[in-house]
Structure 1
Amino acid sequence: MVEPVPQSAAEDEPDRPDEDGSAESSTSGRRGSHRRGKSSKKRSFWKELPILIVVALVLTILIQQFLAKVYMIPSGSMETTLHGCTDCTGDRILVDRVTYDFTDPTSGDVVVFKGPPLWNNEIAPQESSNIVVKGLRGFGSLIGFAPPDERDFVKRIIATGGQTVQCCDARGRVIVDGKALDEPYIHWKNPEVTTEASFPPVKVPQGYVWVMGDNRNDSCDSTCQGGGGINGVVPVDNIIGKARLIVLPPSRWGGVTDHNPQENARPAALGAPAWQQGLPAGVGIAAAWPALFLGRRMSSGLRKVAGRRR
């Protein structure tokens, strides 16, 4: 009876070199192929890296075009809610581009929008004749690391379609539908000037919004763009999205306030300011002295005439 040979025995048996040393050559061949496998893996990684970078950039661009986009604040019209200036690095904000596909813009929302045709740029255009510079700037704007298009603005919605907005009441507050707004976010660049620029009532058409900057001393918005009035309203279709977060610099991380100024609005004090309210009384007092003097003179004259007749 022949016992079967264990399979492991054949594996444990060392290679027996042939006369031409074929076993040794096969071993070295395996080692060589192993080294070539490692080198080919390294080469494949470097080949795949550019593809990964391109895919990441494409996804970034698609996300910013359809879901959320990063914008750089180029001016100080929204201080101190959003920081920006022409000679420094402004805040980078994340703008939600999906919200207004499902809801309507409301009072208090900070929005980025395309300026209507009658609106002028708030910042000087930064054009360059160099094609490479233009391309880099356009790409940087696309991913939020360069100033946006000069036709893009960021402001706060004050009134929506169908509402009537005007300025101001006796305490210098903006009025919407007869109520003075609660606006704790207002920033006065010049502490000596803390009153709004007055404007007559404007009824905002349906499908439009009335916007103003938080920095009321330094913001050309619906109150002055296009000459103000009805020319200053912004079509809802021009709104790109709602500002949600400050993402850069790290020291400014946080959400963007969307305090609704109409929520705690109070009946407007439509009377004149205190000094104007006191003016009629002052005029009355001033006029009383001559009237009293003339009255006494006339009374004295009448008494004299009556005495002579007697």
Structure 2
Amino acid sequence: MTYVANPARYERMPYRRCGKSGLKLPAVALGLWHNFGDNKPYDNSRKMVLESFDAGITHFDLANNYGPPPGSAESTFGRVLATDLKAYRDELIISTKAGWQMWDGPYGDFGSRKYLMASLDQSLQRMGLDYVDIFYSHRPDPETPIEETMSALDAIVRQGKALYVGISSYSAEQTREAARVLKELGTPCLIHQPSYSMFDRWIEDGLTDVLNEEGIGSIAFCPLAQGLLTSRYLNGVPADSRAADSGNPFLTVDKVDLRLAQVKKLNEIAVARGQTLAQMSLAWALRTVTTVIIGASRVEQIHENLGAIDNLAFSADELARIESILAGQ
């Protein structure tokens, strides 16, 4: 059946200006991390992408190594683009990144000009695109001069392979330097993608100040702390959960146990607000960042998370109670 987008798709989603640029991003973006690879049913991946767009999510966040195997998330997204979203390309913000291990040898990792430009060419081929809207340096490279990494981003824009560029997981100091170099080259840094949640607040220690000073937008990954800031673990660790998977290094049973008392108290505030814990956690993060990236394995998760945008305001009392809980009081 031919896909036709929901005509009411722009009625609910708020769109926020990204830094001092002319670009507006949806408050919620869909991340195609580890649920869109070859090991997942294509029909479910397609359904999640299309229902996200129908709900006003115009921003789809990818990276060269997303899968598994690496590259397969981009291939999956490219397939959806070709069969369903081609007519809507100009309504989409498609981003990808390079910076983590992608292929063997010395040229398939980190931030050299050689790696970044080769990787983007591969990403464009996998997605069937002439350009992406945003291309990121996925992580800082301790051995490559920042001038080389940023000059590669600048060249990519000048070649027409990306409209904007960004950085991810750079410190406050590294971000300031990257912004300076890019500004001198004539290609401003559009956006920074850090991890950020109630349980991971490192950006508040200097980075947000730099972003505000430089006019750079921000998009948070892991705003739900790998699922910990959801109702998933309120009654223990389900056998089929991420934390119960011994092969998952990002969320473990020990980490759940450490935070469980706080999670339950935070959930009480969410319920009083008429939200789920996930919805409140996303709304809380959106007080600081331009937009948040959600992950999903089912369409139902996307719709639940979108409930965050229906109540983004917090009272002074709610914020004080949240701070008290996070402080362990």
TM bucket (normalised to shorter chain) is under 0.3
Query: TM-score, normalising length from structure 1?
Result: 0.25
Query: TM-score, normalising length from structure 2?
Result: 0.24
User: More relative contact order in 1 or in 2 (CA 8 Å, sep 6+)?
Assistant: 1
Larger Rg: 1
